[in-house]
Amino acid sequence: MSITTEIEHPADDDIVDVLVIGGGPAGATAALYAARSGRTCRVVDKGIASGALGMSREIGNFPGLIDPVPGAHIVASIRAQAERYGAIFVADRVTAANLDGPVKTAWGAKCAYQGRAMIVATGSMGRAAALPGEERLIGRGVSYCATCDGYFFRDQAVAVVGATDEAGEESLLLARLARRVHLLMPAESLRAPGALAAELAANPVIEVHRSTLVDEILGQNRVEGLRIRARGAAASVLEVSGVFLYLQGARPIVDFLGGQASLSAEGCLVVDSLSHTSVPGVFAAGDVLCKHLKQAVIAAAEGATAAVAADRFLSGHAKLRPDWS
């Protein structure tokens, strides 16, 4: 099964100065700094609640915020601040990239995005194929992108596994194609705006299963069902021909780079002191780098550094100098 769809290519004037992949504290702060330095900037992000900060219920140590707030509020505030200076945020999941040459391209499920510099800020909530049956059935009913593969499941019963806004949005998309969509949430509630949860609940094609885990993906040559377990209930089999997984782990999200930039032994992007990766014009910030302290304020600071470094790169000044503006 192909993981591609018809992708629209941007016009030349859609090539921005700084293309940011990931809009958590690192990517959104990078966008704020890039936009405030007069650079055109586009951020491609797959969903606030898919990121480490966006999913955190309560943050009490972000400087300047006296009362604890949900992490998603902090991300939304930084994004709104960046938008005020002209940064554009696009909801899409990047699945591939070409870092070669003076213009960098990232392919999302909806569109291709291009920038003269790229900042990778995708965090470290990625996961390896971990469910029994998952690896064997990738492309045979196991998918990670309904926008890409949903059409293959027209009039069939499918499952979506996850509790993020991304899982919710993709369920709604599938509900326009599939006969039945089972949204299996490991948590009791969706980590997403109330309006999205209400839309899911009201959709007659979608059945929401709360506090439900997937133990195994069943089928030899293609997905035939899932062995699931709702909290407090015995295991049961759910018959579906496709399963779309939106679960989180603790691995840097770098798969879409296809090995084009150097990684450490732990799988993190390697950068120099100016946030530059091994590829000219490609920078990185936040949890996608290996570091001993993963904190929102540090990710934000690294986003600022990466944006200033990208700006200097675009101006032809490779080195940073003190800047007090």
Ligand X SMILES: Cc1cc2nc3c(=O)[nH]c(=O)nc-3n(C[C@H](O)[C@H](O)[C@H](O)COP(=O)(O)OP(=O)(O)OC[C@H]3O[C@@H](n4cnc5c(N)ncnc54)[C@H](O)[C@@H]3O)c2cc1C
Task: Show which residues are catalytic.
Answer: 145, 148-149
For residue 96, the minimal CB distance to ligand X (Å) is 10
For residue 253, the minimal CB distance to ligand X (Å) is 4
Applying CB under 6 A, the span of 22-30, 78-86, 127-135, 201-209 interacting with ligand X comes to 22-30
Report 284-313 residues binding ligand X (CB under 6 A). Answer: 286-287, 294-297, 299
Instruction: Count the helix, strand and coil residues of the chain and give each as a percent rounded to the nearest 5.
Output: 30, 25, 45
Nearer to ligand X, 163 or 228 (CB): 163
Number of residues forming the site for ligand X (CB under 6 A): 35
DSSP string of 278-322? SSTTEEE-GGGB--S---HHHHHHHHHHHHHHHHHHHHT--S---
Choice from 39, 93, 182, 276 touching ligand X (CB under 6 A)? 93
Nearer to ligand X, 114 or 241 (CB): 114
Q: Could you tell me the two tokens for 44?
A: 């491609």
Q: Which of 11, 10, 27 is nearest to 19 (CA)?
A: 27
Q: Could you tell me the two tokens for 104?
A: 């960098």
79 binding ligand X? (CB under 6 A): no
Q: Which of 53, 31, 56 is nearest to 44 (CA)?
A: 31
C-alpha to C-alpha distance for 183 and 160, rounded to whole angstroms? 5
Instruction: Give the Å distances, CA to CA, from 144 to 8, 134, 170, 306.
Output: 20, 11, 10, 29
Q: Which of 163, 182, 230, 175 is nearest to 199 (CA)?
A: 175
Applying CB under 6 A, the span of 117-125, 219-227, 274-282, 304-312 interacting with ligand X comes to 117-125
Task: Check if the beta carbon of residue 24 is closer than 8 Å to that of residue 54.
Answer: yes
Nearer to ligand X, 228 or 289 (CB): 289
Applying CB under 6 A, the span of 18-26, 78-86, 131-139, 212-220 interacting with ligand X comes to 18-26
Choice from 15, 18, 21, 99 touching ligand X (CB under 6 A)? 21
Choice from 37, 41, 47, 243 touching ligand X (CB under 6 A)? 47
51 binding ligand X? (CB under 6 A): yes
Instruction: Give the Å distances, CA to CA, from 251 to 105, 125, 248, 282.
Output: 23, 6, 9, 20
Strand pairing class (157-161; 180-184) = parallel
94 binding ligand X? (CB under 6 A): yes
For residue 108, the minimal CB distance to ligand X (Å) is 7
Binding mask 119-158 for ligand X (x = CB under 6 A): --xxx-x---------------------------------
C-alpha to C-alpha distance for 197 and 247, rounded to whole angstroms? 18
C-alpha to C-alpha distance for 45 and 96, rounded to whole angstroms? 14
Report 210-269 residues binding ligand X (CB under 6 A). Answer: 253, 256
For residue 125, the minimal CB distance to ligand X (Å) is 5
For residue 234, the minimal CB distance to ligand X (Å) is 30
Task: Check if the beta carbon of residue 307 is closer than 8 Å to that of residue 300.
Answer: no
Residues that bind ligand X (CB under 6 A): 21-27, 44-48, 50-54, 56, 59, 61, 93-94, 121-123, 125, 253, 256, 286-287, 294-297, 299
